Chain A
């Protein structure tokens, strides 16, 4: 019996990006604090619902998952990328067939009594697969064919998630794939062509892909006064919450928009946690939160730069793109920059599957970082 493997594990553990770990822990802490606040109903009632306690459980499970994935070599996952992808597609199909309907959408699959969102798993699986494909030295690089292959692969989960429907989650796949293709050195003209094609496809998407409620959301975004009591309500109330916070905020547990229920209570701990934070901590608090996300993204980028191989670099880049898209779309929609799409804020919003997928992604990036090349850059510049 030797404990050599244990020692190796310990050494790997110590090679983690501790800045990233601390930043993630800080964001989780902020999330817990404001889920508590979003559940707060005044002195007499205290907090209601199970969001807060569930979040502790999910964060713990997610932490364990992240640590496990950090210690396991990410090449194990890239080697089985196709299998993961296949499983994720099967689950996405299954959810459409046997999923649970919540608010008119089939997003949840009940496994052993626990509702899970296959789309969360599918996002990560897609990034692993694309990193595997683009990082494969055997394939012809920067070719139009390879780009189309990647786009076709991405289109499968994209369409499946879109018909659930979960427009927000489907849309974040776009920037993610773009980040990876760009980092992999795809030619500029392909991007321009893709952009033109996307613009041309937009009207088609409007008429054939988007559902009425999605169109309504986009119209409302363009003109919030259109229907202030229905589809405009959340956007309006989120803006009032954020705006009324002022520079310093109203103080912890003092966010009236949330306590009084103007910010809908069903979504304030999840998709609309940012208005709660911004109302109670003001511009200062909101900027600190953005700063923490920037710091976390910086550690992802650093992992991409010091990765031992292109697959690892692309994996970190893709996951950075995923994290960034989530943060930008979530905050952007609560402050009127983007239409309302149900998309949570990573590490902060309540939610099980999303917490696990975010922390799984975090673990994968750590795995890349732990296996970093000794000298991070000079000899790898191409």
Chain B
């Protein structure tokens, strides 16, 4: 072979062609792989991208407001000015410590400029950076005008810091109706998520995805704030979707998948702040409860429990020492009006008398002699008037609150008619008011006694029941609904706190009044005897409730004094149930004072004070307008 041939032998175009094929094959593999990644698996990769870079934040909606029946705000929202740090603008490259240092430096300078103490420590900043990186760090809340002005003056020195506004719950009337309104607390994220999922399910929608972050929202913790939480809370909080970078800082907001926070429904209550104020003023210094109803529809015009608390103390969170105080022996948080169970004492006597008349065992003109004591076997039952009332008829028995007359009447008809009548008036079961923690009270009977005391019903029990003592228990609210029924001729209304809801779009959704019982188990004549007796309790100079008397404002009432605790301990629950004006009642109330002397001496003057205030505040208006400021039910 010549050198020239050798050179030709070194040259193999077909081998180069083969190499081209190899390259083409490899290129084909690349294209196939790209097709799989970018076309077939694109949605999957887009989902993974979204998962690692998109964060959703739940924004708190504007909580609905609570108004009294005349539009006076009772629970409102006020703006709280906050100073927020945007960490994505303050961040420093390199280790996180540098960002933390930069944030702390900004905080110290801000504290100095505004002359306000700094509540955040370095570990708080660390915690925020770890767990809530894309969110603004709220450094100060509720800044006053001076601090804000100082900040604004120096705003240009603080990039990444700005004033923000947060709605804060406020109760403009302070302690007024605190037990009805309740209070709010910071919402629990877990529960919020569960509730919203449940609401979506109810609405037939798909359960929403959990949010990554929840901005502080409040939830009702007690009272109407709790009971109406679903209405007051915006139906669905706002959603903010943001894109975060690899370090977790916010990069930008994704507008398309965000939505503003909604508004909660406003609620108009049956409460009348003037009546409520009068009730609380009368209750001042007592431990007890007052409930005032409109006898025509069960509207709760006032509900007070003492001692009380200020729901504003719970915003944003209650201080631990304050919380401990509220747990004290007087239990200010406890709503005595709905959750307190007390022996009704003599306020129960109309029930016994109506039952005995219905059973046909006594008539209004039936007389019994009261020598001041009643002998039943070996036991002696005393009348409160130790020298006795002499021979009296039914109306006088009511007026003087004679016990002996009641023993005779009760033993004549037996316990069952009395228990039936008590239940007819709503005793022994919850009224169904919109508040939590309502107690049912107790109407004792043979079965109850066997179960709880291990022995059968005796005549002595009947005597105790007749005068509202023994095991009988009622709540002030039950006593008020019963009083309203006595006032209106016998219709038992379900007490109503909520008059209407106003949805965010302005639709008014009224809540109709609801009668629990309308049928009359008595003749109008018999019933009238009781009502007249009650009028005499106050109006007659020797009535047991004469200290409640107001000239020109006719009140009908029944006092009650119930011993409790160990026999002879002298501890008494003192009561008055009252309605007025007698001819056309607009107010029916139950007033309980714990540990008073007697209904007539302790409570009657307070009821007088209460009705005086109401008369001065409201009745002048009523005469002008010729109508009572209440929503009347159409005649049934």
Contacts and interface: CB of A to CB of B under 8 A. Distances in A.
Contacts of B37: 239, 242-243, 335-336
A374 to B, nearest CB: 16
A382 B1 CA distance: 13
A324 B23 contact: yes
Contacts of B34: 242, 278, 283, 286-287, 290, 335
A340 to B, nearest CB: 15
B7 A377 contact: no
A42 interface: yes
A260 B31 contact: no
Contact of A324 (B16, B26, B42, B45): B26
A182 interface: yes
* Interface of chain A, main secondary structure: helix
Contacts of A320: 19, 23
A287 to B, nearest CB: 6
B33 interface: yes
Interface in B2-35: 3, 6-16, 18-20, 23-24, 26-27, 29-31, 33-35
B16 A317 contact: yes
A127 B45 CA distance: 40
A182 B35 CA distance: 31
B258 interface: no
A260 B18 contact: no
A141 B33 contact: no
A247 B39 contact: yes
A243 B42 CA distance: 5
A330 to B, nearest CB: 10
Contacts of A115: none
Given A183-B19, A185-B9, A278 B3 contact: no
Nearest to A379: B8
**Which of the listed residues A134, A260, A328 has the most CB atoms from chain B within 10 Å of its own CB?**
A260
A243 B48 CA distance: 10
A35 to B, nearest CB: 20
A247 B38 contact: yes
B245 interface: yes
Interface in B210-260: 243-247, 251-252
A216 interface: no
A4 interface: no
Interface string A261-276: 1100000000000000
A169 interface: no
A143 interface: no
Nearest to A186: B15
12 contacts: A137-B6, A239-B45, A243-B42, A243-B48, A262-B49, A283-B34, A286-B34, A294-B23, A310-B11, A313-B11, A380-B11, A382-B12
Interface of B: 3, 6-16, 18-20, 23-24, 26-27, 29-31, 33-35, 37-39, 41-42, 44-46, 48-49, 52-53, 243-247, 251-252
Q: Which 5 A-B pairs have the closest CB atoms?
A: A243-B45, A261-B246, A310-B10, A283-B38, A260-B245
Interface of A: 42, 134-135, 137, 141, 179, 182-185, 239-247, 256-257, 259-262, 278, 282-283, 286-287, 290, 294, 297-298, 301, 304-305, 309-310, 313, 317, 320-321, 324, 328, 331-332, 335-337, 377, 380-382
Given A137-B7, A260-B53, 12 more contacts: A244-B42, A247-B38, A256-B243, A260-B243, A261-B245, A287-B34, A294-B24, A301-B19, A305-B16, A309-B7, A317-B16, A317-B19
